[in-house]
Amino acid sequence: MKKLVALIVTTAATPAFAASGPFFSLRNTDFVVLLGFILFIGVLVKFGVPSMLTGMLDKRATDIRSELDEARALREEAQSVLASYERKQREVQEQADAIVKQAKLDADAAAEKAKDDLKTSIARRLASAQEQIASAEASAVREVRNTAVAVAIGAAQDVIAKSMTAAEANTLIDDAISEVSTKLH
């Protein structure tokens, strides 16, 4: 309050020295303006305008401080969320790397198993082919033998038929019939 009065006196005194005539006269415009200003300041002080202004400024400062605190809290929360997401991203990346590594190992194992299965299958097919070849060979040998036997029998019949007489043939037939009848009874 003392500062306000000192301010008024210093501002009022400066124009008063420049005016002519007595300062404390209602004809002096500077004095009238000073009185109006002092009256205006008095009315403002009477109705508590300065305390209202300081209250409003204090409220505004409090609001700004709370907004700054809220912004700081939001910033810290955002940083913690960002750190959490970065940590999760690293974990997911590690899991993805582990999955890729395991998939490569599984693929290598499957390839090895497929090679082993292929080798086993080839070995079985070779064995089966060798058995079929041996069977075909035995069948061909049997057929050649049967054909050789048939040819030999035919040749023997021709030789026997040419060299044997009718009496010898009748004797052989009678012997064969008696042998059959003894075996059947």
pLDDT tens, 81-115?
A: 999 999 999 999 999 999 999 999 999 999 999 99
Tokens encoding 90 = 């690293």
Residue 139 within a domain: yes
Residue 63 within a domain: no
| Mean model confidence pLDDT for the chain | 85
Environment class of 92 (CB within 10 Å of its CB; exposed 0-12, middle 13-18, buried 19+)? exposed
Residue 165 within a domain: yes
Residue 68 within a domain: no
Residue 169 within a domain: yes
How much is the pTM? Answer: 0.39
CA within 13 Å, CB half, 174: 6
Residue 178 within a domain: yes
Residue 112 within a domain: yes
Task: Give residue-wise pLDDT tens across range 1-33.
Answer: 666 565 565 655 555 455 566 787 878 889 899
Q: What is the DSSP letter of 130?
A: H
Q: What is the DSSP letter of 25?
A: S
Q: How many domains does the chain have?
A: 1
Which domain does 114 fall in, by range?
Answer: 83-185
